[in-house]
């Protein structure tokens, strides 16, 4: 029996094996080892405590201080300094800060640092984003990052795979964000524990790269080891002009084994909202009633790309943010920021009364640029809504796609985009 899933094939290649089965323990070569301003300082301390003199490859260790940047206080500035000093010492070719920094999981695909067929580890749980390119990508702890920075290798247990098949046409306003929220609502936050979530079907083939990255980004919210989508012509179009290395497209064999196969009729899925305080507490937007908000956030590694800002601009054009509501928009990278500016979105946003932030993770993790006070409620395009995630433990976070977040900012309560778009701007 030689049939394998796409995840098993990538792991086998990097372990120097012809065939792997779920449950096997392997030592595999790492293509990219990634850290940010929260996790990398711990990894760097571990690296230096071993007496290691150099990283395994200065072109494959990537440091992106994106969580508390621009530095919000002395402590965060010191964290970034640790990264900067290490990057300078080891002459890392992939260190980004200041006007070059973006949200890591939007930045690396955009720059072609991660390519299809890669094995990527990152000391950040949403490293699984890169599965949207057809890479095996997973989050690890800072100690594992330190080991990978030294050796270029790491051990893995080969995960079982669940295949999620989506067929049919997307409804209006529905994106990859809604598809992944729908899955998490169905299987729960531990429904794919240490498994590979493989997304396939004609709906997935029709998704943009932005939506694919969004779906794989939130695989971790179902407990998965990784999320992955087989690369195709959409992937090729995206990576061919930006990949900095050769890449390889893998796909699952017809006879590959799955622990489960789940089929969805996409035409039945409407915009979803995850209510507090877990991403699996999802409901159709038509079911939730009128829930007032104090803040709307559009951005993050899940939904801060140009496609996301485009739909927000479409909804906000000629309209105003509701009184007493803060709308914060965070383009995820400098290139996205410049493109949004070029397209005139910033005028639309500022005319509407929105705040435009430089690229940062900021409010997603309750870091800065949009912290919630006690009793406040936010709708957000981010990926987590745990208790206290965005600020005070007695605040609430609701997750949605960018269209819903923009419409909600206008209405002052969680709203379907049609509620706004049916009424023409004066």
Average pLDDT for the chain? 97
Provide the token pair at 323. 């009184």
Tokens representing 108 are 């690396």
Q: What tens digit of pLDDT does each residue of 206-228 get? A: 999 999 999 999 999 999 999 99
User: Residue 18: is its pLDDT beyond 70?
Assistant: yes
Phi and psi torsions of 130, nearest 5°? -70, -10
The helix or strand, by DSSP H or E, that contains position 329, with its residue range, turns out to be strand 326-329
pLDDT given for residue 144 in this prediction: 98
Does the pLDDT value for residue 72 go beyond 60?
yes
Structure confidence by residue, pLDDT tens digits, 354-397: 999 999 999 999 999 999 999 999 999 999 999 999 999 999 99
The H or E element containing residue 213 is helix 209-217
Give tens-digit pLDDT for 98-147: 999 999 999 999 999 999 999 999 999 999 999 999 999 999 999 999 99
pLDDT of 406 higher than 60: yes
What's the pTM value of the predicted model, to 2 decimals?
0.96
User: Residue 176: its pLDDT value, please?
Assistant: 97
The pLDDT of residue 321 is: 98
**Cα 83 from Cα 141, distance rounded (Å):** 17
Q: HSE, CB side, 13 Å, CA atoms: give it for residue 202.
A: 7
pLDDT of 20 above 80: yes
pLDDT of 1 reads 59
pLDDT at 323: 98
pLDDT more than 90, % of the chain: 98
- Indicate where the chain has its CATH 3.30.499.10 domain(s): 6-264, 272-421
- What is the pLDDT at residue 350? 98
pLDDT given at position 424: 55
pLDDT (tens digit per residue) in 241-296: 999 999 999 999 999 999 999 999 999 999 999 999 999 999 999 999 999 999 99
Is 80 exceeded by the pLDDT of residue 423? no
pLDDT digits 0-9 by tens, 287-303:
999 999 999 999 999 99
CATH architecture of the domain with range 272-421 = 2-Layer Sandwich (3.30)
List the alpha helices (DSSP H) in 90-174. 104-111, 142-151
Buried b (16+ CB within 10 A) or exposed e, 169-194: ebeebbbbbbbbbbbbbebbbebbee
* Residue 2 confidence (pLDDT) above 90: no
Is 6-264 CATH 3.30.420.40?
A: no
How many CB atoms neighbour CB 322 within 10 A?
Answer: 18
């Amino acid at each position: 029996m030689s049939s394998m899933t796409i995840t098993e094939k990538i792991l086998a290649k990097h372990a120097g094996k012809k065939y792997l089965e779920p449950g096997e323990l392997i030592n595999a070569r790492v293509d990219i080892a990634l850290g940010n301003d929260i996790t990398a300082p711990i990894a760097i301390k571990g690296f230096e405590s071993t007496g290691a003199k150099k990283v395994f490859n200065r072109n494959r260790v990537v440091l992106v201080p994106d969580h508390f940047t621009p530095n919000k206080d002395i402590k965060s500035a010191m964290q970034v300094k640790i990264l900067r000093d290490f990057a300078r010492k080891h002459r890392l070719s992939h260190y980004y800060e200041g006007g070059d920094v973006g949200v890591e999981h939007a930045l690396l695909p955009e720059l072609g640092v991660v390519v299809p067929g890669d094995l990527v580890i990152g000391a950040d749980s949403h490293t699984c984003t890169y599965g949207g390119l057809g890479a095996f990508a997973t989050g690890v702890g800072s100690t594992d990052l330190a080991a990978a920075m030294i050796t270029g290798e790491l051990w893995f247990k080969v995960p079982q795979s669940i295949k999620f098949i989506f067929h049919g046409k997307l409804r209006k306003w529905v994106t990859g964000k809604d598809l992944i929220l729908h899955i998490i609502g169905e299987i729960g936050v531990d429904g794919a524990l240490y498994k590979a979530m493989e997304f396939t079907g004609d709906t997935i083939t029709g998704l943009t790269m932005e939506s694919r990255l969004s779906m794989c980004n939130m695989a971790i919210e179902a407990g998965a080891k990784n999320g992955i989508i087989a690369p195709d012509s959409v992937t090729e179009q995206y990576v061919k002009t930006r990949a900095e290395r050769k890449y390889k497209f893998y796909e699952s064999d017809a006879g590959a084994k799955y622990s489960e196969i789940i089929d969805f009729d996409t035409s039945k899925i409407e915009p979803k909202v995850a209510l507090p305080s877990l991403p699996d507490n999802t409901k159709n937007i038509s079911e939730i009633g009128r829930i007032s908000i104090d803040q709307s956030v559009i951005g993050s590694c899940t939904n801060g790309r140009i496609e996301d800002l485009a739909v927000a601009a479409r909804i906000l054009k000629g309209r105003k943010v509701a009184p007493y509501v803060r709308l914060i928009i965070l383009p995820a990278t400098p290139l996205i920021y410049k493109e949004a500016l070029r397209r005139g979105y910033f005028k639309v946003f500022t005319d509407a009364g929105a705040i435009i932030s430089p690229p940062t993770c900021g409010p997603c993790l309750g870091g800065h640029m949009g912290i919630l006070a006690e009793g406040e409620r936010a709708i957000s395009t981010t990926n987590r809504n745990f208790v206290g995630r965005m600020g005070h433990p007695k605040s609430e976070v609701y997750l949605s796609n960018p269209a819903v977040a923009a419409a909600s900012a206008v209405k002052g309560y969680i709203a379907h985009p049609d509620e706004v778009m049916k009424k023409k701007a004066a």
